[in-house]
Structure 1
Amino acid sequence: MNDQHWGPSISADIVVIGGGTAGIGFVASLLKREPHLKITVIEPSAEHYYQPAWTLVGGGAYNVKDTVRPMGSVMPRQAKWLQASVTGIDPNQRLLTLDDQRSVSYQNLIVCPGLRLAWEKIEGLQESLGQHGVTSNYSFQHANYTWEQVQKLKSGKALFTQPAMPIKCAGAPQKALYLSCDHWRKRAVLNNIDVEFNLAGAALFGVATFVPPLMKYIEKYNARLAFNANLVKVDGPAQTAWFEVKDADGNVTRQAKTFDLLHVVPPQVSPDFIANSPLADAAGWCEVDPHSLQHPRYPDVFALGDICGTTNAKTAAAVRKQIVVVAENLLALRKQRPLPLKYDGYGSCPLTVEKGKVILAEFGYGGKLLPTFPLDPTVPRRSAWWLKATLLPWFYWNGMLKGREWLTRVSRVD
């Protein structure tokens, strides 16, 4: 139900900021437990996206049209949808301000607006995207352009970039490289293409266990790794990218590199209304206890999804487990009982190392391996590709967004 006609002040019971994976999945799960709860969702977008498939779109393995649906079709019917943006949060007064000047008061606040892709932090990027070979699988509008450019390229230089952490799905920047290289290898043009992966950080992947199998693919595709190289400027017409490169002594120099294809992953930040609010931690993310996902200073507030100032991987798989923790803990709080569940930092990165094979990296806080299946997680598997490309998208629309909690076993507080 989309209501645009309320007065200047709205009083709500449970308010959820965000209608993405975390917001819709959480509301659906909460209503399965307590169908009579009064929940208000604040979400400006008219569309809902299944973002994990955009990597596959850029690799020619998925139709981009299948990654979007109208927001109204996924919004749980019992929830009230305010199609607006939050501009301010006053947790001391339990009050939100909206972009249309209305205010919303709440008893409990669930913060899950996701993060913001800061395209503007790379000079010249916004003017270049979608032309001159400049693309990004992080954009619904440009994932198809990635695939067009990959098919077109028969020789030349291909640059792939990864900004500083944290970002959504830390494996996605290199998935673009692997799927592109696999296509070029099968078309027998890979030897004519100079492939380089520029990472702002100093490691190929944050969990050491998965670095050796990934390095095998880097070597198989004859790709070069440029560590501590952060993209800062793009000139599309000149097909030139500039990187700030840090040496072993910490000295930074600016280097220009030409390209025929440039796959960019933008820097990612907390939305301003969170970063500038009392809910924020020092880095601007929503501060929460890493296990209960409750705010340490405002106990009536919980957060989940990409906005959390936690060290887990920012993935849809993380949200799947966080939903259960926040739903159960919120209901316990409302009944003045101890919070029963704790989140272990679980996240999953299905690394598409070639078309038809995936290394299923599942891990929690501290890089602890948390495999769902009793198989060696470092081995690329066809079954994991089927999971990534077929089963998970189906389950997302038909299960997760409808409150069905599949493979969500979480720990209870001792």
Structure 2
Amino acid sequence: MSQTTEQHSLSTTPDSRHAVVIVGAGSAGIAVAAQLKRARPDLGVAIIDPAEQHYYQPAWTLVGAGLFKPEQTRRATRTLLPSGIEHVAQAITHIDADNKLAILADGRRIGYQALVIAAGIHLDWDKIAGLSETLGQNGVTSNYRYDLAPYTWELLRNFKGGTALFTQPATAVKCPGAPQKALYLAADHLRRRQQTAELHFYTGTGALFGVPFYARALEQVIAHYKAQPHFGRHLVAVDGPARIATFETTVDGQTQREDVHFDLLHVVPPQSAPAFIRESGLGDGGGWLDIDKHTLQHARYADIFGLGDATSTPNSKTAAAIKEQAPVVAANLLARLDGKPLTAAYDGYAGCPVTTSAERVLLAEFTYGGVITPTLSLDPRVPRRRYGWLKKFYFPFYYWNILLKGRSRPAQHTPRNYPDTLPTIQP
């Protein structure tokens, strides 16, 4: 915490006060704000976020495959905020939870009765040596940035053959299927052009997907494209001009390094919770916002709630999870303000539409503990064209016109059983 912030946080007198303060104007923050205002139009709500632009990030994978225009994923933040919301266009630096104060980068102190932390996830580009210096050139790209997803498509269009590497860190990441989506869409593009390439997927994790039911299906997808998976491999350095990626792995307690040549490198950086959560004493052991996984209320401060990628809940960090979390936070926060018991509960639902080709999507849906809970009764391990249509057209519509408008819909997913035998997988 800076000296200026520390000096201001010593004062317990707020510069302004609101019934509800929301940190973050991403999908989670705006969705909760909209639901609160729909429920109580007169409720005083402020949302803190310096970002002028809001992005529909799930479509960046499609941008990287030439299936979506980048400008379709961006809108001005101010145009998305609900009427009656005060937008505080500043960065948050500290939460004084004992005195119910949010401390801003300019030193202002915003008081609250209830606080919602929806601050998203931090992308740690600089934890990979040499990466920041070469991103956007030398064949190094990432669909995890708005300005780089078009470069992914440029590299694919101009690819003349050789070796293409795709990486995933061992840390939690937003949309854990996205690293594979980049691989599958690239492989499908090369297949359509009848162009051969050596494809590799380097992941710091031990499996293609955290839910074995879906991991087995994705093993068939990656095998179909003759791509080679490498597990327990961490990208630690990139030499762009030399086209060398360096990976580390641990064997028998010994760290080993491997230098791999590439012609195209798609990187997903390590990711972590925003630092202010840990520095404010609100995090768990890993720095994530420490909340109850069902009520989404903070473990130690009853007037703080959280949702989205910055939290400790053991679910996949996806927009589909936010769709189910936002109504829970809104309902329980209002109950807290009214002095009533918290009755709304989040079941850990997450949906991950894994784009296996330009036309097909494997729609993985599950709740806490890896319980398989599809919305439809169709076997979710099968990539389908109808899900491809949902990914390209319906999900963006739902995001802009339903989720961000606070138009909550009843959950439709349900536990279902399927045979152990894998169905026919056609990416």
Quote the residue 2:221 is aligned against: 217
- Cα deviation, residue 407, structure 1: 4.8
- What per-residue deviation string (whole Å, max 9, x for no partner) do you get for residues 260-314 of structure 1? 0000000001111112111111100100000000001100000000011111000
- What per-residue deviation string (whole Å, max 9, x for no partner) do you get for residues 113-160 of structure 1? 101101010011011000000000000010010011011112110000
Cα distance in structure 1, aligned partners of 2:142 and 2:410: 31
- Cα deviation, residue 30, structure 1: 1.2
* Conserved 8 A contact 1:288-1:295: yes
- What per-residue deviation string (whole Å, max 9, x for no partner) do you get for residues 191-243 of structure 1? xx110000001111100001222111111111001111000101111111111
Does the alignment pair 1:52 with 2:70?
no
Check 1:181–1:410 CA distance in 2 against 1; reply closer, same or farther (3 A cut): closer
* Conserved 8 A contact 2:171-2:272: no
Does the alignment pair 1:241 with 2:268?
no
Quote the residue 2:359 is aligned against: 356
Letter of the structure 2 residue corresponding to residue 189 of structure 1: Q
Cα distance in structure 2, aligned partners of 1:55 and 1:91: 38
> What pairs with 1:320-335 in structure 2 (closer than 5 Å)?
320-335=323-338
Check 1:408–1:34 CA distance in 2 against 1; reply closer, same or farther (3 A cut): farther
Shift >2 Å, 4+ stretches:
406-411
Number of residue equivalences: 402
* Conserved 8 A contact 2:168-2:202: yes
- What per-residue deviation string (whole Å, max 9, x for no partner) do you get for residues 76-125 of structure 1? 12100000011011101111110011111111000001011010100110
> What pairs with 1:15-414 in structure 2 (closer than 5 Å)?
15-190=21-196, 193-247=197-251, 249-408=252-411
Check 1:410–1:293 CA distance in 2 against 1; reply closer, same or farther (3 A cut): farther
**What SS is found at the alignment partner of 2:210?**
coil
Check 1:328–1:410 CA distance in 2 against 1; reply closer, same or farther (3 A cut): farther
* Conserved 8 A contact 2:375-2:412: no
Quote the residue 2:422 is aligned against: none
- Cα deviation, residue 406, structure 1: 3.2
**What SS is found at the alignment partner of 2:182?**
helix
Quote the residue 1:3 is aligned against: none
CA RMSD of aligned residues (A): 1.3
Q: Tell me the TM-score normalised to structure 1 length.
A: 0.95
- Cα deviation, residue 405, structure 1: 1.4
Cα distance in structure 1, aligned partners of 2:77 and 2:95: 24
Quote the residue 1:4 is aligned against: none
Cα distance in structure 2, aligned partners of 1:375 and 1:211: 17
**What SS is found at the alignment partner of 2:226?**
coil
Cα distance in structure 2, aligned partners of 1:110 and 1:258: 45
Letter of the structure 2 residue corresponding to residue 259 of structure 1: F
Cα distance in structure 1, aligned partners of 2:44 and 2:152: 43
- Cα deviation, residue 332, structure 1: 1.1
Cα distance in structure 1, aligned partners of 2:28 and 2:118: 6
* Conserved 8 A contact 1:42-1:82: yes
Cα distance in structure 2, aligned partners of 1:125 and 1:77: 41
Cα distance in structure 2, aligned partners of 1:80 and 1:219: 51
* Conserved 8 A contact 2:376-2:413: no
Letter of the structure 2 residue corresponding to residue 46 of structure 1: E
**What SS is found at the alignment partner of 2:381?**
coil
Cα distance in structure 2, aligned partners of 1:113 and 1:409: 27
- What per-residue deviation string (whole Å, max 9, x for no partner) do you get for residues 335-378 of structure 1? 11111111111001100011110000001111111111111111
* Conserved 8 A contact 2:349-2:368: yes
* Conserved 8 A contact 1:321-1:410: no
- Cα deviation, residue 168, structure 1: 0.4
**What SS is found at the alignment partner of 1:292?**
coil
Answer with 213-222 or 40-49: which moved more.
213-222
Identity of aligned residues (%): 47
**What SS is found at the alignment partner of 1:106?**
strand
* Conserved 8 A contact 1:10-1:105: yes
Cα distance in structure 1, aligned partners of 2:351 and 2:118: 19
Answer with 13-22 or 28-37: which moved more.
28-37
- Cα deviation, residue 165, structure 1: 2.7
* Conserved 8 A contact 1:343-1:410: no
Cα distance in structure 1, aligned partners of 2:166 and 2:145: 15
Structure 2 stretches of 5 or more lacking a match?
Answer: 1-12, 415-427
Q: Tell me the TM-score normalised to structure 2 length.
A: 0.92
* Conserved 8 A contact 2:353-2:391: yes
* Conserved 8 A contact 2:328-2:346: yes
Cα distance in structure 1, aligned partners of 2:105 and 2:317: 27
